[in-house]
Amino acid sequence: MAPGHRGSGVYVPSFYQVPAVGGTARPTNAGLPWPVVARTVPVLRSEDHPRRMLVPLAEVAQDRLSIEVQRGCVRGCRFCQAGYLYRPVRERDVNECLAIAGEGLRHGGNEEVSLLSLSTSDHSQVEDLVDRVSALAAERGSRSRCRASGPTPSRLVWTVAASRVRRTGFTFAPEAGSERLRTVINKGLSEQDILLAVERAMDAGWRA
């Protein structure tokens, strides 16, 4: 660990005092690192992603091959803890996602694949990603399921509709009922964006 990083990424609550009301934690002695700086991996390395997932013996919820396609979120919604904690945004390359999917399906025999992130629809290559993973899954007799998280789903709606992905649910999360409030919380979704996404989903075969 570089000298400048001494103690970074490790916070031991018993070594710090937290005021009963307001304020921030303080170290209980001068030798302790402060502030404790979070450590993040600069890139999502292929070798760090699990390749052979555990296969449950019983039927479980979320029983599918999950691939983390991106970490962090390009948005900056003010209320979102994950959006702040998982900065910066790091994308996984499409070829890498394919390699993970191929190996995972071969070894786990899953029937479904999930492309996971805080906001999958914001992956810069989402069309290519959905298309190629769903083609691979179809070859293996599986279905890819896109957890269509993200505030700009209209692009993804078309991608999924045109691919072999099984159409499950779509989650639109405008978070606030008026455009003014969405601007305040930094959601950046206009009335038109929402209506367009819903219209496209309906045109593509989803039903409310």
Q: Where does this chain bind ligand SF4 (CB under 6 A)?
A: 73, 75, 77, 80, 82-83, 118-119, 151
Contacts of 68 (CB under 8 A, 6+ apart): 44, 49, 92, 116, 117
Residue number with CB closer to ligand SF4 (28 or 40) = 40
| Closest CB 87 distance from ligand SF4, rounded Å | 10
Both tokens of 195, joined, read 């209506």
Question: Nearest-5° angle of CA 61, CA 70, CA 163?
Answer: 70
Contacts of 58 (CB under 8 A, 6+ apart): none
Q: What SS3 class is residue 55?
A: coil
| Closest CB 151 distance from ligand SF4, rounded Å | 5
- Spatial separation of the C-alpha atoms in residues 92 and 95, rounded to whole Å: 9
| Closest CB 173 distance from ligand SF4, rounded Å | 7
Residue number with CB closer to ligand SF4 (70 or 142) = 70
Residue number with CB closer to ligand SF4 (104 or 151) = 151
Residue number with CB closer to ligand SF4 (123 or 143) = 123
Q: Please name which of 136, 139, 145 lies closest in space to residue 116, comparing C-alpha atoms.
A: 145
Residue nearest to ligand SF4 (CB): 83
| Closest CB 75 distance from ligand SF4, rounded Å | 4
